[in-house]
Amino acid sequence: MKINNITGINMASASSNTRYGKRDDSLLVSIEKGSTISGKFTNNSFKSAPVITAKDHLEKCSGKEIVLMINAGNANAGTGKKGAKDVLSCCKSVGKEMGINPESVLPFSTGVIGEYLKTDEYIGAFIKASKRLKSNNWKQAARSILTTDTKPKLLSRMIKNGSEGIAVTGFAKGSGMIRPDFATLLSFVFIDAKINRSLLDNIHSEALSESFNRITVDGDTSPNDSSVLVASGRTKSPVKRGTAIERKIRSAVIEIYKELADALIKDAEGATKKITIKVVQAKTEKQAESVAFTVAESPLVKTAMFGNDANWGRILSAIGRSPEVNDVSKTSIHLNGVPLAKNGNLHPQHSESKASKAITKKNLEVTIKLGLGKSTFSVITSDFSEDYLLINSDYRS
């Protein structure tokens, strides 16, 4: 895949030589003056020092040169006043090195919770990175922010606007502690266009609602969740809401986010299968969403999927404990089109051999018909394997 550069965006990474040894784990992204930035952060009441600082700085740096400062390996969460002091120290050091106000540095962290940041080591890495900034360091950048991920997630699109090309390029990380509100997820997407903050926020919110807010690995939400959408300000004229080019940009951004979300699930911790939970015929979207996530986050359902056990009773039980459901008498369940249950009971056309064959696929779709209305909602998740347990039982080791 060709990765399109974004005018005015430069980046570089370096190693702090801490948790990951010599592997790059410290990234700077320089954004030239005139850009617009939309930031969305975790709704977890337990917020990391970088999230608190980034939210504060975001409201003070509009129109200025901005630097995204990202470290992997240490979340700097649950670290109290020292954690807040450490993140500001990093911002000041990077700001001084880059010749910008510290409030124009937006910090992001991912990694172990409850450990103090090795400030000197990370600052040293950021200073090294500041001397290597280039416009084409996308692959290096995407790799540097990984924690338990096994591969980088990097995507790019080019939109035609007459004779002008508008690039959309982005990368993300996240494998576990994944649930809406972005999870242990960092996402950075860039548009080569001039878009005002209000419109950019609107596009960002829609993209998240169609992507990261429809995935779950384990139902846990991190204190570090952050998603950033940047418009470089480099098109000839501003993009206006409702125009053909705005619709093209919106569509491309949503597709990038959806594909990044899909890539996160495929690389989920210990995952062997991608599972789509599709709920239809619900009374309301709220009901459909509740059922989809209740099923998607059921450990019993997820372990059965891993073990190739088409145990529809576990699925129906999860549906029944959704707080939005009080009647399963009209509920039907299919797995990749194979009937499992009808009207809350064994489907009269159920075939154990067909169901057992269907569940061995790497891509599964569980379709749940509630028979109560016309609303729908889909969630993408993964199975639970022994590897998920091993990864998370010794994460700090």
Query: Considering only 197-201, 269-273, 305-309, 359-363, which range has the smallest mean pLDDT?
Result: 269-273
Q: CA-to-CA distance for 13 and 129, rounded, in angstroms?
A: 5
Domains, the chain, in order of start with CATH, read: 9-266 (3.60.70.12), 274-393 (3.10.20.340)
Pairing of strands 186-191, 226-231: parallel
Q: Which residue in the list 18, 53, 169, 184 is annotated as catalytic?
A: 184
Structural contact between residues 102 and 251, judged by C-beta atoms closer than 8 angstroms: no
Report residue 395's pLDDT band, with 50, 70 and 90 as the boundaries.
Answer: low
Structural contact between residues 57 and 106, judged by C-beta atoms closer than 8 angstroms: yes
pLDDT at 179 over 70: no
How much is the mean pLDDT over the chain? 92
The kind and range of the H/E element at 313 are helix 312-320
Q: Which residues pair with 168 in a beta bridge?
A: 157, 191
Query: Considering only 27-31, 158-162, 248-252, 375-379, which range has the smallest mean pLDDT?
Result: 158-162
Report residue 385's pLDDT band, with 50, 70 and 90 as the boundaries.
Answer: confident
Give the pLDDT confidence score for residue 225 in this predicted structure: 86
pLDDT at 396 over 70: no
pLDDT at 256 over 60: yes
For helices 197-209 and 244-266, the axis angle rounded to 10 degrees is: 40
What length is written for the chain? 397
CA angle 322, 328, 332 (to 5 degrees): 105
Tokens of residue 37, six digits: 């930035």
Q: CA-to-CA distance for 242 and 86, rounded, in angstroms?
A: 44
Give the pLDDT confidence score for residue 11 in this predicted structure: 98
Q: What is the pTM of this model?
A: 0.90
Q: CA-to-CA distance for 31 and 70, rounded, in angstroms?
A: 14
Residue type, 104: S
Give every CB contact of residue 252 below 8 A, 6+ residues apart in sequence.
157, 159, 168
Q: What is the DSSP letter of 4?
A: P
Nearest to 212 by CA among 256, 242, 248: 256
Burial class for 320, CB neighbours closer than 10 Å (0-12, 13-18, 19+): middle
pLDDT in tens, 66-123: 999 999 999 999 999 999 999 999 999 999 999 999 999 999 999 989 999 999 999 9
Q: What is the DSSP letter of 359?
A: T
Q: How far is CA 174 from CA 70, 76, 155, 171, 253, in A?
A: 14, 17, 15, 11, 19
Burial class for 2, CB neighbours closer than 10 Å (0-12, 13-18, 19+): exposed
220 versus 247: the higher-pLDDT residue is 247
Give the pLDDT confidence score for residue 31 in this predicted structure: 97
List for the chain the helix, strand, coil content (%; round to 5): 35, 25, 40
Residue type, 53: T
Give the pLDDT confidence score for residue 181 in this predicted structure: 45
| Residue 134, SS3 per DSSP | strand
Q: CA-to-CA distance for 223 and 53, rounded, in angstroms?
A: 13
Report residue 293's pLDDT band, with 50, 70 and 90 as the boundaries.
Answer: very high
Percentage of the chain modeled with pLDDT above 70: 95
Give the pLDDT confidence score for residue 393 in this predicted structure: 65
7 is catalytic: no
